[in-house]
Amino acid sequence: MSVLGAGGVAAVVALTASSYRPELGLIGFVAVALLALAVAAGFPSLIPWPLVLLTGAYALKLRGGPIDQWAPVYAGALLGVAELAYWSLELRGRAQDAERLTERRAGLIVTLAALAVVVGGLVLAATSLRIGSGIAIDLLGATAAVAALAVLAAVAGPRA
C-alpha cells in the first residue's frame, strides 16, 4: 500500500506540474522504486529517502510560485506513505499479532494523516491572516518558535 501511495503522489506531482514533467516523473519513479526496494528488502533506514525525493519533486514543482493550497494534502499523503511503509516492516514474521491489530492500526494511520491535513490547513489559513507588524509581533513569533522547538525536544527526548 505504501508503494501505491508513493506512486500516486509521484504521479500527481508530475502530472500537475506546469514544467519539468519528465524530470519530475523520473524523480517520482526513482522514489517509488527505492521505496519498493526498502519495503521488499526490509531496510527501515532506506525508507526516508524516497520521501525526501518525493518532497523534493514537490518543491521543484512549486519552484518559488505562490502558496499551494494542496500542500496539506501532500503532507498527509506523505505521512500516510511513511507510516504504511514502516508498518509493513513491523509486520514481518508476526502474522498472528497482525490480525488483531490491523483494523486498529489502519484507523490510526488514516486518522493521523487526516489530522496532518487539518493542521496543515490551519497553518496555511493562518499564513493569510494580517495581524500587523512591529516588535511585539516579532517577539511573539520568536517565543512561539522557541516553544515549538521545546515541545519537539521534549517529545523526541529519551523516555524513562
**Residue ranges of the domains in the chain?**
2-132
d(C-alpha 36, C-alpha 123), whole Å: 32
Q: Taking the CB of residue 17, how many other CB atoms lie within 10 A of it?
A: 19
**Average pLDDT score over residue span 29-47:** 94
Cα 41 to Cα 4, 24, 75, 107, 123, distances in angstroms: 17, 25, 26, 26, 37
Q: Please tell me the predicted confidence (pLDDT) of residue 98.
A: 58
Q: Please tell me the predicted confidence (pLDDT) of residue 160.
A: 57
Q: Are 81 and 51 in contact (CB under 8 A)?
A: yes
Residue 74 has pLDDT above 60, yes or no: yes
Please name which of 74, 97, 72, 75 lies closest in space to residue 87, comparing C-alpha atoms.
97
Banded model confidence at residue 157, pLDDT cuts 50, 70, 90: confident
Q: Taking the CB of residue 131, how many other CB atoms lie within 10 A of it?
A: 8
- Which helix (DSSP H) or strand (DSSP E) does residue 144 occupy? helix 135-156
| Helix segments in 16-134, DSSP class H | 21-41, 48-62, 71-90, 95-126
The distance from CA 46 to its chain's CA centroid, rounded to whole angstroms, is 15
